[in-house]
Structure formats: C-alpha cells, structure tokens
C-alpha cells in the first residue's frame, strides 16, 4: 500500500497500490467516500451516515428504497419516485415522518451538495432499533438519501451489442406472498440470487419468470419484446410497473407503435425479433440473448433508446 492511501477491504488487489486520490470514485467502497448524505432531516458527513446493527430494517427487511437518475444536474421524475417510496412504505405498514416535498428537497440537496451532474440517487427508509422481533409497531422510521456519479448500469459494449440474459431458477412471487408492486428491500433477495446466478456463468443479467411460469422481469428492469413492429410486454401484476416502463410506452405510442400488455409464455421468445430492458438504472438497453433465444438489436429498439435519451436530457420534454 502506498503511504497516505486509505486501506481498502480488497487491499491485496492491485487497487491497494494506488493512492486513494488517484482512484476513480466508482471503485471506492460505498462507506468510505467524501461528501454528505441526507440522514433523518440533515446533511451529515458521508462516513457518519451509519445505523445500529440491531436495526429492524436489517434483520426483517422492513426497508423500502428508490432509485433515481440525475441528468444534467436534474433528477428525472423525482416526485413520481418519491411518491412510490411513500407507497412502498405504506405497503409495509409505516409512514415516513416527512412530506413528499421534504423528501424531494432532500434528494435535490444531496445532488447539489455533491455537485453531481450525471448520477444515481438512493432514498431509503427503514425501521429502527427500538424493537428486535417480528413485531415492529413502535420502531422509529429513519430516512436517508445519497447520490453518487453513475454514468451507465451496463457496459457500453453490452449496450451496443445487446445484453446476454440467463433464465433465472428463481421466480417472482405471487402478489399474495409479498407487496410485489413495491420497492421493498425484501423482494430484492430474489433479484440478487438471480443476478449472481447469471453473473457466475458470464451473463449480464437474469430474466425471471413469475410464480405461474410466465415471463416477468429482469433483476432491476422491466422487459419488452418486438414482433412485426408491435411491442409486447408482460402485465405487471406481480412485479414493479416501472416508471421507465410507463415512460417508454408513452414514447412508443407517440411514434404510433402498438403496445400489447399481456401474459407472455417463455416459448413465445422464439418468435420475437427484438427485446429490450427498461429501468431507471438500465434506461433502454437492448437484449441479444435470453437462454437459448436470440434477438437482433433492431431499429425500433434503437429509436426508443434515442427517444428516451432525448427525453431524460430534457430535449424532448
């Protein structure tokens, strides 16, 4: 390790030989960065934004979060995301001790404080450590919002050539097993299992079916298919109806493209020509491969990628 550098958890790797200052932000561990995080009403130094190990949110997944993108210094669809955070919290039985406007302001405050032009905002709310057990009625509700620079979720190469998806052995659960329309942290256990399963075999991401065996979504994004100029996408009846999903559907309608929301069976993938993912982080990203099925990165996908890009950067607003 070079003198004056901060020790890394992965110190044995080559990164440990570089002074901390020389490393790009993207490789720094998330608990050891400069800047501030909005935490329970005020901006605190990044490294001080901690919680107790006996927090209910950590043990029992009584935690909800959002994922937002900053383009040219502005958070895209901020209030829609904040409202979804409140909806997710209510689905888990708690109310945030703030107004939607206050959380909007908190998100804007961290973006401004860190001078982020293109990045990702993470608001999160969780139950505190007043009670340790399944019951959590008397816990305090904590809220935080952090932001970091994040140019692209998938690599540039993957975005141009199309993603390779593995079909996950894990399924999206039935809506009577969990609040499946929310960004409740517990639901992401299935996404992490699926993503790791795919990455361990060299894929970019995983496609999950639902509990009935129908096509559902990727681990952090919704899915669309194209056949004969028509968009097909699963009905979001047991997974998140993404803000990007709805945005891209509006953009497609503007282009006069027909959209069919319906139950899609896995074997239908043999007949689709194009496929793409939509999500705040993923934006619009083409897919080249899902298990044994192949897709081309075609014109409709490329047009929607461009439309979305223009919209989020304010050009098409």
So which residues are the catalytic ones? Answer: 183
**Cβ of residue 262: shortest distance to ligand PMP, in angstroms?**
18
Rg (CA), the chain: 20
**283-290 and 163-172 strand pairing:** parallel
**Cβ of residue 235: shortest distance to ligand PMP, in angstroms?**
14
CA distances (Å), 44 to each of 34, 66, 313, in order? 11, 20, 30
Asked if residue 221 binds ligand PMP (CB under 6 A), the reply is yes
Phi, psi of 43 (to 5 degrees): -85, 125
**Cβ of residue 119: shortest distance to ligand PMP, in angstroms?**
15
SS3 content of the chain, % helix, strand, coil (to 5): 30, 25, 40
Total number of residues binding ligand PMP (CB under 6 A)?
A: 15
User: Which string of x and - marks every residue 176-215 that binds ligand PMP (by CB under 6 A)?
Assistant: ---------------x------------------------
Asked if residue 280 binds ligand PMP (CB under 6 A), the reply is yes
Is the CB of 140 or the CB of 235 nearer to ligand PMP?
A: 235
CB 118 within 8 A of CB 151: yes
- Report how far residue 66's alpha carbon sits from residue 64's, in angstroms, rounded to the nearest whole number: 7
Asked if residue 234 binds ligand PMP (CB under 6 A), the reply is no
Asked if residue 57 binds ligand PMP (CB under 6 A), the reply is no
Phi, psi of 233 (to 5 degrees): -145, 145
**Cβ of residue 251: shortest distance to ligand PMP, in angstroms?**
13
- Binding residues (CB under 6 A) for ligand PMP: these are 67, 191, 217, 220-222, 239-240, 242-245, 278-280
């Amino acid at each position: 390790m070079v003198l004056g550098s901060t020790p890394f958890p992965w110190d044995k790797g080559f990164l440990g030989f570089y002074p901390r200052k020389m490393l790009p932000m993207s490789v720094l561990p998330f608990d050891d960065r400069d800047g501030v995080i909005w935490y329970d009403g005020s901006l605190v130094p990044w490294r001080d934004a901690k919680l107790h190990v006996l927090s209910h949110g950590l043990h029992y997944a009584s935690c909800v979060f959002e994922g937002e993108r900053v383009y040219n210094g502005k958070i895209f669809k901020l209030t829609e995301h904040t409202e979804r955070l409140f909806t997710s919290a209510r689905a888990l039985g708690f109310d945030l001790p703030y107004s939607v406007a206050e959380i909007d302001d908190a998100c804007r405050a961290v973006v401004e404080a860190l001078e982020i032009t293109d990045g990702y905002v993470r608001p999160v709310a969780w139950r505190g450590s007043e009670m340790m057990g399944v019951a959590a009625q008397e816990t305090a509700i904590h809220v935080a919002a952090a932001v970091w620079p994040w140019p692209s979720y998938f690599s540039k190469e993957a975005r141009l050539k199309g993603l390779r998806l593995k079909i996950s052995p894990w399924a999206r659960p039935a809506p009577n097993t969990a609040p499946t329309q929310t960004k409740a942290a517990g639901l992401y256990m299935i996404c992490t299992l699926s993503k790791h399963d795919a990455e361990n075999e060299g894929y970019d991401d995983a496609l999950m079916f639902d509990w009935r065996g129908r096509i559902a979504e990727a681990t952090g994004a919704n899915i669309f298919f194209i056949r004969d100029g028509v968009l097909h996408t699963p009905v979001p009846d047991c997974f998140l109806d993404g803000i990007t999903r709805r945005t891209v559907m509006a953009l497609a309608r503007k282009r006069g493209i027909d959209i069919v929301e319906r139950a899609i069976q896995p074997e239908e993938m043999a007949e689709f020509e194009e496929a793409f993912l939509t999500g705040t982080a993923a934006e619009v990203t083409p897919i080249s491969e899902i298990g044994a099925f192949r897709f081309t990165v075609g014109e409709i996908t490329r047009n929607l990628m461009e439309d979305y890009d223009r919209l989020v950067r304010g050009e098409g607003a």
